[in-house]
Amino acid sequence: MKKILFSLAFVAFAAMAIVSCGGKSDPKSVAISFLEARNKMDYKTAKKYGTPETGKMLEMLESFSSMVPDSVKNLSKNSKVVIKGEPKIEGDKCTLVATNTIGGESKDENVTLVKKDGKWLVNMSKDDNGGGAEDAAIEPETPATGVGADDATAVPAEEAMPTEDSAKTAQ
């Protein structure tokens, strides 16, 4: 009987310790968890670390994710996030710089977090230029057409927009 009570007490204590540690919210760990999930295109998990506005931005990214080539999705699965320096905390707002490494290519990204109900949350807005896996999925544009380079309907730049000289010749 003592063994059973001791075992139950131990399990209860361990559960409380795990829950109390998991409830801590520091900007670095929140930013890393968010960025890793976003880079891997796991938008459901990323939303857990973001504000409602961030959730809307993630929903928009998720709607475009079906257009991302599988090769980019595979690269994104092995992404790595490192926080550079210390976060700059001013009241309920925090900014930090994270380095995203995807497919061997590194890119710095500014991350803004806000504290709501005692928890730090990533706050992405339309004004942020983001970074990560989604940027790698964008096809390079041809200079004059704005059409992706792999698009079968792409028109060579010199044919797409006549120059002033070719316009005079045509007259």
Q: Identify whether 171 is part of a domain.
A: no
Residue 53 confidence (pLDDT) above 90:
yes
Q: Identify whether 15 is part of a domain.
A: no
Q: Tell me, what CATH number does 53's domain have? A: 3.10.450.50
Give the count of domains, the chain.
1
Q: Identify whether 65 is part of a domain.
A: yes
The residue with greater pLDDT, 110 or 76, is: 110
pTM tops 0.75: no
Q: Identify whether 168 is part of a domain.
A: no
Angle, vertex CA 140, rays to CA 58 and CA 134, nearest 5 = 15
CA atoms of 144 and 166, how far apart (whole Å): 15
Comparing 14-18, 113-117, 145-149, which segment has the lowest mean pLDDT? 14-18
Q: Identify whether 147 is part of a domain.
A: no
Residues of the domain holding 41 = 25-139
Q: Identify whether 92 is part of a domain.
A: yes
Could you report how far apart the first and last alpha carbons of the chain are, in Å?
102
